[in-house]
């Protein structure tokens, strides 16, 4: 028998840490899009002093099953902090695509980065 109740989204949370400096990535610009034939912005903003993107998407606002893309403006973050980067920089924008199949689960994205690379995975599942 099919479930006719509407499933509540668990949300998408983002926590960014600048591991080159060993600190939360306060001020890092983040954009989150849903990819459903077109690119629809779901969330955008800057990480707070704890490296968290404070946005209603973390409670499930705007989240549906499907494919998503998150972008982190790494080059801008380091230049704003006064770091001298090569021109062009090795890592300007870190882009990560992921899918949500189980809408009721929370998807936590811990983003760890330096000017030379990043790690992103589903945490807290």
82-114: pLDDT as tens digits: 999 999 999 999 999 999 999 999 999 999 999
Q: What distances in angstroms separate CA 75 from CA 4, 69, 94, 99, one per listed residue? A: 46, 18, 9, 26
> 2-14: b or e for each residue (b if 16 or more CB lie within 10 Å)?
eeeeeeebbbbbb
With CA atoms as reference, report the closest residue to 60 among 94, 119, 107. Answer: 107
Q: Per-residue pLDDT tens for 5-37?
A: 568 899 999 999 999 999 999 999 999 999 999
With CA atoms as reference, report the closest residue to 23 among 45, 54, 48. Answer: 48
Name the β-bridge partners of 16.
111
CATH superfamily membership of 12-108 = Transthyretin/hydroxyisourate hydrolase domain (2.60.40.180)
Q: What distances in angstroms separate CA 89 from CA 49, 56, 111, one per listed residue? A: 25, 32, 19
Checking if the pLDDT of 61 tops 50, the result is: yes
Query: Model's pTM, two decimal places?
Result: 0.92
């Amino acid at each position: 028998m099919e479930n006719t109740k509407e499933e509540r989204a668990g949300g998408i949370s983002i926590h960014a840490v600048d591991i080159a400096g060993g600190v939360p990535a306060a001020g890092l610009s983040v954009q989150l899009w849903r990819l459903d034939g077109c690119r629809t912005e779901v969330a955008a903003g800057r990480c707070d002093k704890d490296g968290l993107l404070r946005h209603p998407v973390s409670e499930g606002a705007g989240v549906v099953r499907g494919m998503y893309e998150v972008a982190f403006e790494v080059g801008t973050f380091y230049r704003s902090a006064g770091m001298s980067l090569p021109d062009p920089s090795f890592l300007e924008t870190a882009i990560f695509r992921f899918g949500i199949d189980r809408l009721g689960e929370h998807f936590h994205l811990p983003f760890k980065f330096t000017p030379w690379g990043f790690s992103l995975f589903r945490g807290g599942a």
